[in-house]
Structure 1
Amino acid sequence: MKLLIGDKNYSSWSMRPWLLLKHFGIAFEEVLIPLGEPGTTAAILAHAPQGSGKVPCLVDEAGLATWDSLAIAETLAERFPQHALWPRDAASRARARSVSAEMHSGFGELRSNMWMNIRASFPGMNATSGALADIARIEAIWRDCLDAHGGPFLFGEFGIADAMYAPVAMRFNTWRPALSATSSAYVERITALPAVQAWIDAARRETHAIPYQDACP
């Protein structure tokens, strides 16, 4: 399989399926395509002509493309049932799917005001009322899941729900909003995962830059 991704420093969507593949030891070829360049879309379509022209995109051994981070996560869970990417318990799985989909479709204020930029440091900035409301909702999700399942991750062991929220942890490392002790400890556990550390280390080594994402008003 090939996984098409964007810059590790910026591409929160790419981070999610990459973490799942790395954490669960699923073999794949990484194809990194710098974002925001004139040839970016054409380069993606060259690998996955039937796809959306966006990353992430998973191309299987037969050339079948699956794009969108949550669709890729579902595909991996289906293809590799030996790994508990979703919780085995039906009730927990329903909740994990729900909080993952909420992350996938929501939190627009946080995305707009506190974007992912691993190399940057913008402590205390862009703490708009909308972004803070999104953060409060995220903290409530984390607290409820950790309380219900006992940690260390949202549903006990690391899975799709944690991968969906890992880029949020990267945002919190960059923007440093005020967090509860529970949320701060969860961010630390996510950040310390070997797969996450590998992603961060690679992001810091990248030289490609997207200037408007490196500047904070």
Structure 2
Amino acid sequence: MWVVVGGNHRLTPPNRPHNSLYVISDQGEPVGRYDKRRCSHTEIGDWYSPGFDACVFDVDGFRFGCALCIEINFPELFLEYAASGVDCVLFSSYSRDPIFEVLARAHAAAGLWISVSVPAQCSAAMPSGVIGPHGYRLGSCAGDGRPGLVCVRLDRGDPALDVALHKARPWRARARAGDLYETRRVDDPRSVAKTRF
């Protein structure tokens, strides 16, 4: 069993620590660390030093990335993971803000599995669980403050995920690259958008 666990990563004084996730392999060895890149106003001012690198690791043919708390508000981080071939982002938070649930589902609907890990006392706003690449929950803990555990199977062959994984995600990658649209640019004066009406 692989484990991802949160903690402060101390730096040499007087530098503030990183807010981190440690990746531990099924051999019990630390194999990676994610340092939160988008710290809150309070964190960056008083508590933490920011990280600057994504954390990507592979387990049994799936690629994983990590994100922490308010980073859910930064779609570019999730797009970066998708562009680097990540299948599932492991998202950990201590938030009681229900908008985090909406944002996590939106990022998932862009073609990623999102694993949500929150303390049980925060579960009313967003219970722990796994959201599929179609934006719907595949499994959830209770949302009533009770601790729980969710197990789901990441299945690229699941017919319910076919459009999300095999059609929408590749199409969006091509659309983001832009050349798909440039080759269809029309030479028509009526095509020029007016900036002032």
TM-score by length of 2: 0.28
* More helix as a share of residues: 1
Q: Which has the higher contact order (CA 8 A, sep 6+)?
A: 1
Q: Which is higher, the Rg of structure 1 or of structure 2?
A: 2
TM-score by length of 1: 0.26
* More strand as a share of residues: 2
